[in-house]
Amino acid sequence: MENQVLTPHVYWAQRHRELYLRVELSDVQNPAISITENVLHFKAQGHGAKGDNVYEFHLEFLDPVKPEPVYKLTQRQVNIMVQKKVSQWWERLTKQKRPLFLAPDFDRWLDESDAEMELRAKEEERLNKLRMENEGSPETFASMKKGYLFMYNLVQFLGFSWIFVNLTVRFFVLGKESFYDTFHTVADVMYFCQMLAGVETINAVIGVTNSPVLPSVLQLLGRNFILFIIFGTMEEMQNRAVVFFVFYLWSAIEIFRYPFYMLTCIDMDWKVLTWLRYSVWIPIYPLGCLAEAVSVIQSIPVFNETGRFSFTLPYPVKIKVRFSFFLQIYLIVLFLGLYINFRHLYKQRRRRYGQRKKKID
């Protein structure tokens, strides 16, 4: 009767260019580790879950790898690194169904987006070293960029924090009366913050940050349309309570987003702030869009009455086009954008917190 083959516990993680395997065997000496026909073969004497025995396993990789594994022995485990032939992200490790002895290595695991950031950071670090060698400059572009982004996020954080605290204190002191002079109280700071937000979009366009360009542009244009057109050009709208809710909800999101980016610039990760950054927007973002929609709806009769921004098409059409027609179209686009952005942001959050293990398996 043949002896039963013992398999150790194996944990894996990946980057775009490498695979990492951690074999839970202690006191291993001279293991037999090789790759033939894209299959990893492992056999070693060591102390594992079944005591001191010979353990072995075989893994057929999902895609081609280089046949030269590199391993390192420690007192408690065997660490194996395998190079992928093509730099890409794998949806799983093995071609066949995941074996029972294989599990994700959460100590080393990164989502694909996080791994891309790490890859860019390593590439940026390599380029900076080459630049320093060529130029002999002690100040690298990476450090300058981090300082610039840190200061930008700090200024935005201070601006939106001032708005948020101001509106909160005035509400507790004055109650509902504070709603009606919100614009005249904080509009100057909000103008400054929203104009400065254009820098954020420029950063995404020219590649200073990894933020997607389209969401950044849409948010900038949408907010500035409400601020400069709906509120800024119509005095009749500036004394309405909806201004308070729009400004308050905008600032409530940003007082968590900008400090999160600040800490990212200096390679710090505060878990509480990270959770708030990825969670607070869930109720506040739809409420902010709803407040913007209310402001647009309330402005429609005002624009119709004043005729501002309305125009008449030239002869022979001679049809008067009211600006309220474009506002109605904007409402449709606003809620369509809400659906698209909310779906995208929620999927991002699920990847980070709720569905990691399901995605790995």
* Cross-strand pairs, 104: 12
In angstroms, the Cα distances linking 307 to 74, 232, 299, 332 are 78, 16, 12, 22
Residue 316: is the preceding peptide bond cis (ω within 30°)?
yes
* Active-site entry in 24, 200, 254, 292: 292
Distance from C-alpha of 117 to C-alpha of 94, rounded to nearest angstrom: 25
Q: Judge whether 285 counts as a catalytic residue.
A: yes
**CA neighbor of 218 nearest in space, from 200, 191, 237:** 200
Count Cβ atoms within 10 A of the Cβ of residue 109 and give its class: 0-12 exposed, 13-18 middle, 19 or more buried.
Answer: middle
Q: Is 346 a residue of the active site?
A: no
Dihedral angle computed from the Cα positions of residues 330, 331, 333 and 336, in that order, rounded to the nearest 10 degrees: 170
Q: Kindly list the distances between the CA atom of residue 72 and the CA atoms of 8, 20, 44, 197, in Å, as whole numbers in the listed order.
A: 16, 11, 13, 49
- What six digits make up the tokens of 108? 């080393």
DSSP helix/strand/coil, 146: helix
Nearest residue to 41 via CA among 61, 27, 25? 61
Angle between helical axes of 182-206 and 141-174 (0-180°, round to 10): 160
Q: Which of 18, 285, 305, 330 is catalytic?
A: 285
Task: Show which residues are catalytic.
Answer: 285, 292
